[in-house]
Structure 1
Amino acid sequence: MRHVAIVGAGVSGLSCAETLSGAGIRTTLFDKGRGPGGRMASRRIETAQGTAEFDFGAQYFTARDPLFIEQVNHWERSGLVSPWPAARTDAYIGIPTMKAVLQHLCLRHTVHFSSLVKGLVRNGQHWQLAGPDTGEDMFDSVVLALPAEQTATIITLHDFNLGRAALYARSQPCWTGMFVFSERVEHVSGLIRDSGIITWAASNRAKPGRSGPESWVVQAGPRWSLDRLEQSPDDIGPHLLAALEQELDIRLPAVIGQSVHRWRYALSAGTDLGCLWNETLALGACGDWLVGPRVESAWISGRLLADKIIAASSVRNS
C-alpha cells in the first residue's frame, strides 16, 4: 500500500487525507501545532468568570461546490456545524468552535502534532521528512498543505516551477485581538464589518451554540496589519480595543482576559491552479491559496490533489 505524508493538518490537508483514505491509500499527517486548526483555529482564555473560547481565524465558511455542500450537510446532521444567518445567509460555523470539524476528522487519521517539518529528503524513490520530531519513516509521496510562503521554502529545492507558483501567491496579514469583558457589551447585532481599521469584529454571543463570559474577536484590515506587522502584541492590543470602542460608540467594560495573535498568512489571493503536483517526484501542494480565500477553497484543493495522487497510483499499479 502506498504511504503519503501530508504536512499540515488544516482543512486542505485533512480533505486530501479523507479522499486518499477513501481510495485505500495510507496517509500520515504532520502539524507543527498542538492541535488541528490552521485558519479554523480556536483558543481558550481562562478568566475569573469562566472559560472563554474564541474562533480567531476564519469566522465562518460558505459552501458552493456540490461535493462540499454534500459534506457540509453531513456535518450539520452530525451536529458539527450550524448555519449562522446573521453573518451571511449561506454562512456556517463549527459547533462548539470552528475547529470542531477538524478535530472530528483527525480521529479518522494518523496525525502527529508538535511535529515541525523543516524540509524534505529524497532517498531513491522515497521521501523522508526533515525535522526534530518527524521520525524516520519513508513515504511514497509528500503533500504540503501549508500557506504559500511556507510551501515555497520547502518545495523550491525540489521543483523550481512549483516553488515559483508558491512564491507568486502572496498572502496578506491580519492582527486579531481576543478580548473578555467583565460585563455585557451592548450592540444590536454583535457584528461589525469593514469600518475604520476593523475588517471584522464579533461577539461570541452573536454565534449559535456559544456560551461563556462576554467575549469579542476583533480583526484588523490587511493594510493596517501590514504596516504594523513587526510590532508586538502588547502594542497592538490597545489599538484594537480603541477601534472597537470607537465603532460601538460606548465606553467598554474592564478587560478581564485577552490575547492578540498575528496572522502572517491570513488572506490568500488565490491562483486558480487548484493544486500543484509533480508526478515524477510524487510531490505536491494544496491549500486555499491555490483556489481562493475561502475554507471551501482549501477543501477543494485538497480533494483535487488527492485525485491526482490516486490517478498516478492507479497507473503505477496497472
Structure 2
Amino acid sequence: MKIAIIGAGLAGLSTADVLTGAGHAVALFDKARGPGGRMSTRRIETAQGMAFFDHGAQYFSARDADFMAEVARWEAAGAAARWPVAGADAWVGTPGMNAIVKRLAADHDVRWNCRIESIGREGALWQLTHAQGVEAADAVIVAVPAEQVADLVAPHCGAWAGLAQATTSQPCWTVMAAFDARVDFSADSLRNCGAIGWAARNSAKPGRSGPESWVVQGSPAWSAQHLEDDGDAVIAHLLAELGSAIGCDLPGVLAVQAHRWRYALSGSAGHTALWDGSLRLGLCGDWLIGPRIESAWASGRALAGLVTA
C-alpha cells in the first residue's frame, strides 16, 4: 500500500521502519521545520559560542527487550549514550536528544513544514489536504499528540476522536539559560523543588559542547497555573527558583529563552495502538500507552504489526 503517516516523531518513524521493511511505500508529513518534536534540541548563539538545550524530553529509559535492542543500535551508531545522572537506566540522544529522530528520519520520505489540515475519502483512497495541495494514499496513520487527533479523525471514527479528547496532556514551561561561568552546584540535576519539576546542567550530558547551559522545567501543576504567563515572567521566576534551590547566586546570563509546551506529558488511553482495516486508518503514539519515549516507539511498532498482519 501507499501509506501516509501524519507526524514524524518517534511513533510515526518507528511505524515507518516496519512498514517500509514490509514493502509498503510510506510518506511522513510533519508540521515542524525539522526533526525532534518533544525530543527537540535548540541552539542559541552566545558570546562564548553555540549553546545547546534539550528543551523537551530530558532523557529516556529502556525496559522492554525489543526497545533495549533498538537503543543498542542507536548507541552503536553514536546517536545515544547512557546518562547515569538521571538514573541507572537513563539514556540521552547524542550530541542532542533530537539525534535519534534525525537518524530515523534520514531513512524515510519526510515532508517537513507540512501541516495536514484534514483527511477525507474519495472512493477507495484517502485524500490528505495541506497548504501545498492534496496527497492521495491507500491508508493513513495518525501519529500526533492526542489533542491534535480529534479534528483529523472525528469525521471518520467518532469513538477514536472521543478517546483522544478524553486523554489530555500536562503542559510544561521550559527555560533555557546559558551562563558565563559554571553554576556552583555539585550535582548536575535536581527535581521537585518549588515550582521546578526538573532542572539539569544540559552541557554536562554526554557529547555536549558549548558554554554552561541549564534547562529548567516547571512542574506540571505550576506550568498549568501559569500557562498563559508572559515568557519573560516565567524566565524570571524559574531562574529565581533555581538560584534558591541550589543556594547560590547564578552566574551572568549569556542567553536565555523560554518555551511553552502545551502538550508536554501525555496521558494514557489504555491502548497500545488502534487500526481499522476496513477504513485503513490507524492511530499510534505515547498518549495511547503512557508518557514515556519507549511508549511512543512501542505504539508505532505495534500499529505496524496490525497493518501487516
Q: Secondary structure at the match of 2:242?
A: helix
Aligned-pair CA distance for 1:52: 0.5
Quick one: distance in 2 between partners of 1:250 and 1:244? 9
Quick one: distance in 1 between partners of 2:125 and 2:238? 48
Residue matched to 2:296: 298
The residue correspondences of 1:29-108 to structure 2 (distance < 5 A) are: 29-108=28-107
The CA deviation string for residues 111-133 of structure 1, in whole angstroms up to 9 with x for no partner, is 00000111112111111112203
Residue matched to 1:136: 134
Aligned-pair CA distance for 1:269: 2.0
State which drifts further: 199-208 or 107-116: 199-208
The CA deviation string for residues 252-278 of structure 1, in whole angstroms up to 9 with x for no partner, is 112111110011001112122011222
Instruction: Report the aligned-residue RMSD.
Output: 1.0
Q: Secondary structure at the match of 2:172?
A: strand
Residue matched to 2:202: 204
The CA deviation string for residues 22-72 of structure 1, in whole angstroms up to 9 with x for no partner, is 111111011111111111111000011100011011111111111111101
Quick one: distance in 2 between partners of 1:212 and 1:247? 24
Residue matched to 1:316: none
Give, as a single letter, the amino acid of the residue that structure 2 aligns with 1:108: D
Residue matched to 1:150: 148
Give, as a single letter, the amino acid of the residue that structure 2 aligns with 1:10: G
Quick one: distance in 2 between partners of 1:258 and 1:208? 22
Q: Does structure 2 conserve the Cα–Cα contact (< 8 Å) formed by 1:191 and 1:206?
A: no
The CA deviation string for residues 61-96 of structure 1, in whole angstroms up to 9 with x for no partner, is 111111111101111111110011111100110110
The residue correspondences of 1:111-126 to structure 2 (distance < 5 A) are: 111-126=110-125
Quick one: distance in 1 between partners of 2:164 and 2:189? 34
Question: 1:15 aligned to 2:14?
Answer: yes
Percent of matched pairs sharing the same residue:
49
Match of 1:160 among 136, 158, 161: 158
Moved over 2 A (4+): none
Match of 2:264 among 266, 272, 277: 266
The CA deviation string for residues 134-153 of structure 1, in whole angstroms up to 9 with x for no partner, is x4331011111100010112
TM-score normalised by length of structure 1? 0.95
The CA deviation string for residues 137-189 of structure 1, in whole angstroms up to 9 with x for no partner, is 31011111100010112111211011111111110000000001111112111
For structure 1, list consecutive stretches of 5 or more residues without a partner in the other structure: 312-318
Give, as a single letter, the amino acid of the residue that structure 1 aligns with 2:261: W
| Count of residues in correspondence between the two structures | 309
Q: Secondary structure at the match of 1:118?
A: strand
